[in-house]
Amino acid sequence: MFLSVFDMFKVGIGPSSSHTMGPMVAGARFLDLLRAQPFRVAGLRASLHGSLAFTGVGHATDRATILGLAGFIPSDYDAEKAEAALARIRDTHEVAPEGLPPLRFDPAKDLVFDYGPALPGHANGMILRGTDAQGDVIVEETYYSIGGGFVLTAEELAGGKATEDGPPVPYPFDTAESMLRMSRDSGLSIAEMKRRNELTRLDARALDKGLARIWEVMNACIDRGLASEGILPGGLKVKRRAMGIHRSLLAERGLNLTAPHTINDWMSAYAMAVNEENAAGGQVVTAPTNGAAGVVPAVIRYWLDHVPGASSRDVPDFLLTAAAIGGLIKYNASISGAECGCQAEVGSASAMAAAGLAAVLGGTPMQVENAAEIALEHHLGMTCDPVKGLVQVPCIERNGLGAIKAVSAASLSLRGDGTHLVPLDAAIETMRQTGRDMHEKYKETSLGGLAVNVPNC
């Protein structure tokens, strides 16, 4: 089993990896399919199903689908060009992707939110269609946005395609148990094994450059969030809070009366800064999703800014360790809120961050695995119930608490020798089963939980 660190950490845009980035990626894939056709396609249609329909407007899924079909991709998204393209498409009822003739597409008519039963493969499904000059469908493909910006066709999903193709890797761990066994037999850390696996796909220089880029975007996102104020879009009138909290914390620095638990506010400010940027549609890194994008960067920033002896030289080991844990969770359960609730998003992110922190603090592989297990175990059962379908309430604060839990989990694991009763594999399987049994209204549909119990929403 191999999932690259650059699959777990992808540069993209807010507010959602599964509802924004995924549909945009699906649109780009469909355009490639059309370019390969021997016949002429004249128009496009799209239908959104399941969670993509129920919370699509709040997650900007409609915009993302339109932009994807116009040729935009998350990794090099330009907000100004996107706004101009959306205005042009609404005026002309056409998209003009590169390598194809102008295609008829009226978003008001050709983009359908289907609130009926979800498609059979996954809660996040969409069908893209190409039509001829008479409007008859001549090309059709079903795509599933399975979380974290990963997109599979119906055929790929049915065939079990969950990992990247490529040469065999030296350490093909697909469970925490096999990961620890390989680490013990090789004498390598989890980060070292993950690095050697990555080097089967790219050279050391490209790997290091890519990891540096991931942290650069994460850190810049924190800084933007800490410097921004105002009201978040979407209609809930949620006020940005990270900047104000950060200002208060800076003003209190050096005061003898500052309570020790104030460090939790620093972690929350870092995490909330990221998720406020995400909610505003800014550039973030999936970690492993957009809805949980604040946890990992917040813990790294906490470690670098507040822990004596921390060094940015070790950030790559943090990211590689976190990605190893995230890959296990994705492979054996899910990182999709629409599939398993928020335990799969913030819970997974907290486990990843706890593992990364334990690793850079000198933990053994057993302690790293224990840290991930503690963090995941104490997110089990968490629902995904965004108010008004927006990635704002409870998502923004939830990232702060996920970061705090990650640091606590790492600290607890380092107080022991790594032996513990509940293995990480058991926690991951429990999360999968809990997600399977969880009622659909608690899985990113905004049909239950806080989404229906908050007044005036």
In what helix (H) or strand (E) does residue 146 lie, and over which residues does it extend?
Answer: strand 137-147
User: In the predicted model, is pLDDT for residue 282 greater than 60?
Assistant: yes
Reading the block at residue 151, the tokens are: 């997109």
In angstroms, the CA 347 to CA 321 distance is 16
Spell out the residues 6+ positions from residue 159 whose beta carbon is closer than 8 angstroms to its own: none
Cis peptide before 288 (omega within 30 of 0): yes
Nearest CA among 382, 337, 278 for reference residue 13: 278
pLDDT digits (tens, 9 = 90+) for 298-336: 999 999 999 999 999 999 999 999 999 999 999 999 999
Domain ranges of the chain: 16-158, 176-200+202-453
pLDDT digits (tens, 9 = 90+) for 61-98: 999 999 999 999 998 888 899 999 999 999 999 999 99
In angstroms, the CA 217 to CA 315 distance is 13
In angstroms, the CA 196 to CA 315 distance is 17
Is the CATH number 3.30.1330.90 carried by domain 16-158? yes
Q: What is the DSSP letter of 119?
A: P
In Å, what is the CA distance from 104 to each residue of 10, 85, 427?
Answer: 31, 14, 49
For residue 94, which amino acid is it?
E
Flag the least confident range among 76-80, 248-252, 341-345, 373-377. 76-80
Nearest CA among 129, 314, 85, 319 for reference residue 77: 85
Residue 139 DSSP SS3: strand
Residue 158 and residue 146 in contact, taking contact as beta carbons nearer than 8 Å: no
In angstroms, the CA 13 to CA 262 distance is 31
Give pLDDT, residue 161: 63
**Placement of tokens 């940005």 in the chain:** 240
In angstroms, the CA 167 to CA 43 distance is 39
Q: What is the DSSP letter of 255?
A: -
Spell out the residues 6+ positions from residue 82 whose beta carbon is closer than 8 angstroms to its own: 63, 67, 72
Architecture field, domain 176-200+202-453 = Orthogonal Bundle (1.10)
User: In the predicted model, is pLDDT for residue 388 greater than 80?
Assistant: yes
pTM (global) more than 0.95: no
In what helix (H) or strand (E) does residue 182 lie, and over which residues does it extend?
Answer: helix 176-186
In angstroms, the CA 151 to CA 134 distance is 30
User: How does residue 254 score in pLDDT terms, banded at 50, 70 and 90?
Assistant: confident
